[in-house]
Amino acid sequence: MMGNLGRIGPARIFVHAAVLLIVFLWLLPTLGIFVTALRERDQIVASGWWTAFAGSSRTTAARLDGPDKAKPEGANFVISGTLAVEGGGKIQSFGLRVQEPAAYKAGAPAALENGETLTINADGSYRYQKSGPFGADARAKRVYLTVATPPQFTFDNYRTVLGGEGIGQSFINSLTVTIPATVIPILIAAFAAYALAWMEFPGRAILIALVVGLIVVPLQMSLIPLLRIYNEIGQIFGVPSKTYPGIWMAHTAFGLPLAIYLLRNYISGLPKEIIESARVDGASDFDIFVRIILPLSFPALASFAIFQFLWVWNDLLIAMVFLGTDKDHLVLTAALNALLGSRGGNWEILTASAFVTIIIPLLVFFGLQRYLVRGLLAGSVKGG
Amino acid sequence: MFSQIVSAIGAMIFGVAICAAYFWFSNKLLDLIFPAREGDDVHRAAVNLRRRGLIRPWLFLGPALFLLVVYLVYPVVATFILSFYGPDGNKFVGGANYVWALNDTEFRQSIFNNILWLAVVPAACTFFGLVIAVMTDRIWWGNIAKAVIFMPMAISFVGASVIWKFIYEYRGGTDVQIGLLNAVVQLFGGTPEVWITIPFWNNFFLMVMLIWIQTGFAMVILSAALRGIPEETIEAAVIDGANGWQIFWKIMVPQVWGTIATVWTTITILVLKVFDIVLTMTNGQWNTMVLANLMFNWMFRGGGDSGRSAVIALVIMIAVTPIMIWNIRRANAEMKGR
């Protein structure tokens, strides 16, 4: 079908070019932080990340040695030495005034006023020569350098954020929240889905309609009453109101409608004969569920597991409300949000932290994309 | 660090085990109370089996129903009631919170912004998703392209905020512009700006982020729907001399109309609840406030005002309700058709 279209549609080249452009545009934002997280702090602010592979040049100031270091050399007096250049950079040009930091080329002698010449080489060695003695009270000369630094990449930013900025701790917190909040709803939803698909009891149709309706109920409706319940329970039993079990339950509950809906659609589509023959053999519903339904439903369970994992890992609102914002309990998203406030301009920290928060979902995404797509299609296209 | 990991693993096992234990023990208990064999009394055994059949669905459904009622059904009712009460939820104030909302400029601003988001984001995502789906289905490396465009779905809104804040970054004075947008603007001779502080237009800079994230979702679903189009309809159109443009608009789009509606409503619901992006990018400053953020602010602002907060939440709920009813009716129709 698509082959036909290709032949009769606009030139194929155009399609290739258009898709290439879109892919490029879509990739560019993420690429920006991946590259930036690997650059050194000074380089990040000195040049855009897209120049990272070409190296960067920046202007710094340095001071030559003072007149007291001048040595007579024939009729001339010479001050020589080496300027420190950080990061293995090469000096490209230099100047004497801040307005003209690149007035002279490095490596070639520059003729200054009063019969002075100054040569600064790319490696930082310099020779400052005057036809007469330097004034004894003159200050050490200040020069401005344009330094070209080769592309340099470092893992220092990651070391900083994982330790000092508490992102390592938050990573573990995120796992502590996410894994049970993914497994528990699957278990609960699978049992409920089986009951709604294969067991006869009054009110089944109403319950199914309720589940479908609850899928779209906005979280915002739940926050205020639940916060009150949590605080009251905390006060009555003298326990903290913001705990891991508390947020597991919240995530479980908010994920349940979609989970039950997806799994019920799948489980009700399993062949009737299998379940009926097991019943005839005297198996109880519990046995049927554990031995037959669970293994057969693996694709649907995996689809939902990925959804729920991504949703919980990436959630900010529920974590802020039910786990709080104190440092010990910060999950990655909340930690990143806090950093955006406190470290607004420190892109080396923000980008490295962002990378740590998005790498796990990205791995899950690329590793299990098949199941994710299947789940999406089951949930939104036909619903069964 | 190590003890933290150990206690985290312990907590995980504990949480999952409690859940699994409930199902196992409750079912064993039911089998014990109503055994399938009771000596030679066939009648008693049959009665037991029937009782088990009556009770077991509720054992299976129990935890799910409990959580759904406590976390979703009850709160909807409670929020509705709280909207008629004062800041701490104890004093009945009638419709005062609603009157406040109607006269509050920030609330009106939020409604306006939400409508703006609703007008732009679902349409843009669906349109781009459809176009990209059609194009990627026609090239051999289409699946790679799709994976890239789908990828932002896996990135959290907060992560996306860092990514896009870096693009919108502005540096004052003579500093080099390290934000991509300002660098491009400069390249074409424009003046760098602090984009997210420019009222009205900053809304669009935030919307771009959600479009970037959600287009992949629209693309994947529409792509599957496009593949379901019968080949004959397109072949017939080709024979009749239709060009690519006509085939797209007159043959393909009408056949996936139902899917377009599904994608549109799904993204609409997401847009109504948009929160993280605004919180992390502007926190509602510079006229970017939306309902979900205003609601969150009032939960804590000035010690928290549950009444006003509840009114704002209800507005979101009311906006979602038509889609909810449509979903339920569609699900019912499907079940009858089975």
What is the spatial distance between Cα A252 and Cα A80, in angstroms, rounded to a whole number?
72
End position of a domain, from candidates B22, B54, B82: B82
Distance in angstroms between the alpha carbons of the first and the last residue of chain B: 54
Does residue B39 sit in the same domain as residue B140? no
Contact across the interface for A340 and B11, Cβ inside 8 Å: no
Higher pLDDT, B338 or A186: A186
Look at residue B135 and tell me if it is in a domain: yes
Does residue A111 sit in the same domain as residue A43? no
Does residue A220 sit in the same domain as residue A351? yes
pTM for the full predicted model: 0.83
Q: Sheet containing A142-149: which strands, arranged edge to edge?
A: A56-63, A142-149, A90-95, A104-105
End position of a domain, from candidates B82, B111, B132: B82
Look at residue B131 and tell me if it is in a domain: yes
**Mean pLDDT across the stretch B88-110?**
89
Contact across the interface for A347 and B52, Cβ inside 8 Å: no
pLDDT tens-place string over residues B244-256? 788 888 888 888 8
Residue of A33, A216, A381 lying closest to B323 (CB–CB): A216
Does residue B202 sit in the same domain as residue B315? yes
Does residue A361 sit in the same domain as residue A262? yes
Q: Are A121 and A83 in contact (CB under 8 A)?
A: no
Residue A123, phi then psi, degrees to nearest 5 = -85, 0
Does residue B207 sit in the same domain as residue B251? yes
Residue A322 sits in a domain whose CATH number is 1.10.3720.10
Residue in A closest to B13 by C-alpha: A180
What is the spatial distance between Cα B36 and Cα B34, in angstroms, rounded to a whole number?
7
Strands A116-120, A125-130: pairing is: antiparallel
Strands A76-82, A71-73: pairing is: antiparallel
Q: Who's near B116: CB < 8 A, 6+ residues apart? A: B203, B207
Does residue B113 sit in the same domain as residue B29? no
Nearest in space to A375 (alpha carbons), one of A281, A283, A301? A301
pLDDT tens-place string over residues B220-252? 889 888 888 888 888 888 888 888 788 888 888
pLDDT tens-place string over residues B291-337? 999 999 998 877 788 889 999 999 999 999 998 998 888 888 877 76
B235-241: long-range contacts, CB 8 A cutoff, minimum separation 24: B235/A1, B235/A4, B238/A4, B238/A8
**What 3-state DSSP class applies to A338?**
helix
Q: Report pLDDT for B304.
A: 81
Q: Provide, as residue numbers in chain B, all residues whose Cβ is less than 8 Å from the Cβ of A40.
A: none
Q: Report pLDDT for B78.
A: 92
Contact across the interface for A32 and B167, Cβ inside 8 Å: yes
Does residue B112 sit in the same domain as residue B67? no
**What 3-state DSSP class applies to A65?**
coil
Residue A256 is encoded by which pair of tokens?
């349940």
Indicate if the alpha-carbon torsion angle B180, B183, B184, B185 is positive or negative. positive
What is the spatial distance between Cα A254 and Cα B75, in angstroms, rounded to a whole number?
12
Does residue A290 sit in the same domain as residue A218? yes
Look at residue B200 and tell me if it is in a domain: yes
Q: Report pLDDT for B66.
A: 93
Does residue B103 sit in the same domain as residue B78? no
Q: Provide, as residue numbers in chain A, all residues whose Cβ is less than 8 Å from the Cβ of B149.
A: 22-23, 26
Residues 147-206, chain A, touching B (beta carbon < 8 A): 168-169, 172-173, 175-176, 179-180, 183-184, 187-189, 191-192, 194-196, 199-201, 205
Does residue B19 sit in the same domain as residue B108? no
Residue B278: pLDDT over 50: yes
Residues 267-296, chain A, touching B (beta carbon < 8 A): 282, 284-286, 289
Does residue A42 sit in the same domain as residue A79? no
Q: Report pLDDT for B67.
A: 93
Higher pLDDT, B90 or A250: A250
Mutate to test the interface with A, among B72, B80, B135, B320 (most CBs of A within 10 A): B72
Angle between helical axes of A12-37 and B157-167 (0-180°, round to 10): 90
Look at residue B87 and tell me if it is in a domain: no
Residue A146, phi then psi, degrees to nearest 5 = -105, 115
Does residue A329 sit in the same domain as residue A275? yes
Residue in A closest to B275 by C-alpha: A317
Residue B227 sits in a domain whose CATH number is 1.10.3720.10
Residue B117: pLDDT over 90: yes
Contact across the interface for A244 and B15, Cβ inside 8 Å: yes
End position of a domain, from candidates A149, A180, A214: A149
Contact across the interface for B138 and A220, Cβ inside 8 Å: no
Checking ipTM against 0.90, whether it exceeds it is no
- Expressed as residue numbers, the domain containing B45 is 2-82
Does residue B149 sit in the same domain as residue B245? yes
Does residue A349 sit in the same domain as residue A254? yes
Contact across the interface for B180 and A184, Cβ inside 8 Å: no
Does residue A277 sit in the same domain as residue A345? yes
Look at residue B114 and tell me if it is in a domain: yes
Residue B86, phi then psi, degrees to nearest 5 = -70, -170
Residue B23 is encoded by which pair of tokens?
């199902």
Contact across the interface for B54 and A201, Cβ inside 8 Å: yes
Q: Report pLDDT for A6.
A: 46
Residue of A19, A172, A383 lying closest to B334 (CB–CB): A383
> What is the full per-residue pLDDT of chain A (384 aa) written as tens digits?
444 444 545 567 888 888 999 999 999 999 988 888 888 887 788 788 888 777 667 777 888 887 777 788 877 888 888 887 766 678 888 888 877 777 888 888 888 877 788 888 888 888 888 877 777 666 777 888 888 777 778 888 888 888 777 888 888 889 889 988 998 899 899 999 999 988 888 888 889 999 999 988 888 889 889 988 988 888 888 788 788 888 999 999 999 998 998 898 888 888 888 888 888 887 878 888 888 888 888 888 888 888 899 999 999 999 988 888 787 888 999 988 888 888 777 888 889 899 999 999 999 888 888 888 887 777 643 332
Q: How far is B3 from chain A (nearest CA, A)?
A: 11
In Å, what is the CA distance from A366 to each residue of A359, B16, B155? 11, 27, 12
Q: Are A317 and A222 in contact (CB under 8 A)?
A: no
End position of a domain, from candidates B82, B117, B138: B82
**pLDDT cut 70: percent of chain B above it:** 98
Look at residue B229 and tell me if it is in a domain: yes
Does residue B15 sit in the same domain as residue B104? no
Does residue A60 sit in the same domain as residue A202? no
Q: Provide, as residue numbers in chain A, all residues whose Cβ is less than 8 Å from the Cβ of B279.
A: 316, 337
Q: Provide, as residue numbers in chain B, all residues whose Cβ is less than 8 Å from the Cβ of A169.
A: 1, 4
**What 3-state DSSP class applies to A150?**
coil
User: How many domains does chain A fold into?
Assistant: 3
Q: Report pLDDT for A382.
A: 33
**Mean pLDDT across the stretch B47-65?**
85
Does residue A272 sit in the same domain as residue A192? yes
Q: Provide, as residue numbers in chain A, all residues whose Cβ is less than 8 Å from the Cβ of B179.
A: 48
Does residue B133 sit in the same domain as residue B62? no
Contact across the interface for A354 and B71, Cβ inside 8 Å: no
Residue of B72, B139, B259 lying closest to A217 (CB–CB): B72
Residue of B61, B71, B225 lying closest to A250 (CB–CB): B71
Q: How far is B200 from chain A (nearest CA, A)?
A: 23
DSSP assignment string, A130-146 = ESSPPPTTPPPPEEEEE
Residue in B closest to A195 by C-alpha: B57
Q: Provide, as residue numbers in chain B, all residues whose Cβ is less than 8 Å from the Cβ of A173.
A: 8
- Expressed as residue numbers, the domain containing A85 is 56-149
Work out the mean pLDDT of chain B and round it to a whole number.
Answer: 87
Look at residue B17 and tell me if it is in a domain: yes
Contact across the interface for A6 and B138, Cβ inside 8 Å: yes
Look at residue B197 and tell me if it is in a domain: yes
What is the spatial distance between Cα A316 and Cα B157, in angstroms, rounded to a whole number?
8
How many CB pairs lie under 8 A apart between chains A and B? 361
User: How many domains does chain B fold into?
Assistant: 2
